[in-house]
Amino acid sequence: MLNAKLATQSHSDHRTIIRLSENATVGGQDLLIIGGPCSVESLEQMEEVASHLAAAPVQVLRGGVYKPRTSPYAFQGLGVEGLQILETVRQRYNLPVVTEVMSIAQIEAVAASADMLQIGSRNMQNYDLLKALGQTDKPIMLKRGLSATIEEFVLAAEYILSHGNSQVVLCERGIRSFDAYTRNVLDLGAVVALKQLTHLPVIVDPSHAAGKREMVADLARAAVACGADGVMIECHPEPEKSVSDARQALSLEDMVKLVHSLKPVAAAVGRRVPEVKSRLQLSVA
Q: Are strands 168-172 and 202-204 parallel, antiparallel or unpaired?
A: parallel
Rank residues 95 and 142 by Cβ distance to ligand PEP and give the closer one.
Answer: 142
SS3 assignment, position 225: helix
* Binding mask of the shown chain, residues 32 to 71, with x at each position contacting Mn ion by CB under 5 A: ------x---------------------------------
Q: Is 52 in the site for ligand PEP (CB under 6 A)?
A: no
Q: Which stretch binds ligand PEP (CB under 6 A): 117-125, 186-194, 256-264, 265-273?
A: 117-125
For residue 205, the minimal CB distance to ligand PEP (Å) is 6
Partner touching 173 among Mn ion, ligand PEP, none, CB below 5 to 8 Å by kind: ligand PEP
Return the ∠ at Cα 190 (arms to 192 and 12), rounded to 5°.
40
Of residues 111, 150, 112, 147, the one with CA closest to residue 129:
111
Q: Can you tell me the distance from the alpha carbon of 266 to that of 253, in angstroms, rounded to the nearest whole number?
A: 20
DSSP 261-284: HHHHHHHHTT-BPPPPPPHHHHHH
Q: Residue 264 interacts with ligand PEP (CB under 6 A)?
A: no
- Segment lying near ligand PEP (by CB under 6 A), choices 13-21, 50-58, 118-126, 221-229: 118-126
Q: Which three-class secondary structure state does DSSP give residue 106?
A: helix
Binding flag, residue 64, ligand PEP (CB under 6 A) = yes
In sequence order, the 6+-apart residues with CB closer than 8 A to the CB of 282 are: 22, 23, 94
The residue among 122 and 176 lying less far from ligand PEP, judged by its C-beta, is 122
Distances (CA, A) of 129 to 34, 105, 163, 260: 23, 9, 11, 37
What H or E segment, with its residue span, contains residue 9? none
Cβ proximity to ligand PEP: between 10 and 70 the closer is 70
The pattern of x and - marking residues 147 through 186 that bind ligand PEP according to CB under 6 A reads --------------------------x-------------
For the bound state, the minimum distance from the C-beta of residue 4 to ligand PEP, rounded and expressed in Å, comes to 21
Distances in Å between the Cα of 99 and the Cα atoms of 61, 137, 225 are 9, 15, 26
Q: Shortest gap between Cβ of 149 and ligand PEP (angstroms)?
A: 16
The entry of ligand PEP, Mn ion, none that residue 143 binds, CB within 5 to 8 Å by partner kind = ligand PEP
Residue, CB closest to Mn ion: 38
Residue 35 touching ligand PEP (CB under 6 A): no
Q: Does residue number 208 form part of the binding site for ligand PEP (CB under 6 A)?
A: yes
Q: How far is the CB of 119 from ligand PEP (least distance, A)?
A: 8
For residue 199, the number of C-alpha atoms closer than 13 Å in the C-beta half-sphere is: 18
The alpha carbons of the chain give a radius of gyration, in whole angstroms, of 17
Q: Binding to ligand PEP by residue 68, rule CB under 6 A?
A: yes
Nearer to ligand PEP, 25 or 242 (CB): 242
Q: Are 74 and 31 in contact (CB under 8 A)?
A: no
Please tell me the distance from the alpha carbon of residue 135 to that of residue 28, in angstroms, as a whole number. Answer: 25
Residue 245 lies near Mn ion (rule: CB under 5 A): yes
What is the binding site for Mn ion (CB under 5 A)? Answer: 38, 245
What is the binding site for ligand PEP (CB under 6 A)? Answer: 38, 64, 68, 120-122, 143, 173, 208
